Structure 1
Amino acid sequence: MIDDVYNAKILGFAGNIARIGRLDHPDATARAHSKLCGSTVTVDLKMDGDVVTDFAHDVKACALGQASSSIMAQNVIGANADELRAVRETMLKMLKENGAPPEGRFADLKYLEPVRDYKARHASTM
């Protein structure tokens, strides 16, 4: 049921997004856009080698995109590039292949697991 997707935990994350804005002189910038809901998230990173040392994001997204962005913002500092690639892969498997949710610092992404049943919403969470 759609109420499982928009549960209190997801709405709580969506209403509490840290690190909003843009970084001056980021080492990397990425932008993602969901055609379905129109969400756009722009992420700026500062790195020391392959470790994230600073992070900011401009989030114009639905509740699912806001929740996902919020969880990442709370946990991304100190993560390395391999860890970020691994959490992305784990999320894709969770949503598309009935895989286990992420563990460790990104374990709160498990609250997005109900999105699995709504394929059209997958892009909103990634």
Structure 2
Amino acid sequence: METKLIYLSDLEFNLRVWKRELKFHKEELKKFERQLEDIAKRNLGIDAMAPLEGFQNKIIKEREVIDKLMQKIRIKKRAVKRADLHEDIDGRLHREQEPLRDDMKTYVKLHYELKEALMDFLTKWVR
């Protein structure tokens, strides 16, 4: 049973880390959005506005992805809390968590690609 508690604790730890990371990214997106709004107010023309609108759309989409991932995390947390401590440790919960882990890996990769492109854009237009 002690091994089972450690196992469940590890799964819960992963979920907490992912949740904190998503919250951080959501706050980061707010900051980027404010910077984009500042650029939009300066009326810099189509060269700035076309990519700016693209970034705004990507930020909206990323927020939706974050919300979906947060929902998946909540569902997994409930599953971990409901786990039967007397059930054999067969890795079931861990295997069930693999798709979420893969989703997080993909999300993080895409987030940093967006962030890099956004930083390049901001470097060009923020003066």
Q: Please state which structure has a larger fraction of its residues in helix.
A: 2
Alignment TM-score, normalising by the size of structure 1:
0.27
Alignment TM-score, normalising by the size of structure 2:
0.27
Q: Please state which structure has a larger fraction of its residues in strand.
A: 1
- Please tell me whether Structure 1 or Structure 2 has the larger radius of gyration of its CA atoms: 2
Bigger relative contact order, structure 1 or 2, given CA contacts below 8 A and separation 6+? 2
